[in-house]
Amino acid sequence: MLDSSDRLTPPPQRVLVAGPSGAGKTTFAQQIERVAGLPHTEVDALFHGPGWTPRPDFVEAVDAFTREPRWVTEWAYTSQLGDLVVSRADTLVALDYPVLLHMSRLVLRTIRRSVRRVELWNGNVEPPLRTFFGNPEHIIRWGWKGRARIRANVVAAERDWPQLRVVRLRSQRQADAWLRSLAL
């Protein structure tokens, strides 16, 4: 597994950003888009239709953009996509931040989106904060439960896809350094 100090040669062309919900996958993918010029496709926007219903063309839409030679996206929906995305990536960047950083970002983001009624995808907004107590799949709970699962998925991907370069970033400082290395 690589870290922020390892120079990637050749430069990444098909990048998958892994991390639990709220770790900053989409933000990091957007930064990669700006720095490396790789087109970013937000996988959540492809998955969520109106009323939080899965879009029927989700797998086909992901299949289409991952056939392209250059892209960056978030690693999610593995139960729907299987190995489709990871098998086509050349670089997997794992955001493996400390629990305090990850969870504080997730909680603050969720509160901000909920209070402001920020539209996410296709008219969907975060549910009221009180749903945290009754919904076992509330985004904050989902983010917490996802930490171990994502780590296991990253280890399995490194084992199962030998062509895949796996970069583990354990802090915002490392993430910033890795982004700077893409610009060189």
Encode pLDDT of 49-98 as tens digits.
999 999 999 999 999 999 999 999 999 999 999 999 999 999 999 999 99
Q: What is the dihedral of CA 178, 110, 108, 18, to 10 degrees?
A: -20
| 123 or 183: which leads in pLDDT | 123
Class of domain 14-97+150-183: alpha beta
Handedness of CA 101, 76, 34, 3 (dihedral sign): positive
Handedness of CA 113, 19, 94, 86 (dihedral sign): negative
Farthest-apart Cα atoms in the chain, separation:
48
- For residue 17, what is the enclosing H or E element? strand 14-18
**pLDDT mean over 165-169:** 97
**pLDDT mean over 158-166:** 96
> What is the average pLDDT value for the chain, to the nearest integer?
93
Of 147, 109, 144, 145, residue with least CA distance to 129: 109
pLDDT of residue 184: 66
- For residue 102, what is the enclosing H or E element? helix 99-116
| 121 or 27: which leads in pLDDT | 27
What are the boundaries of each domain within the chain?
A: 14-97+150-183
Of 77, 70, 80, 105, residue with least CA distance to 18: 77
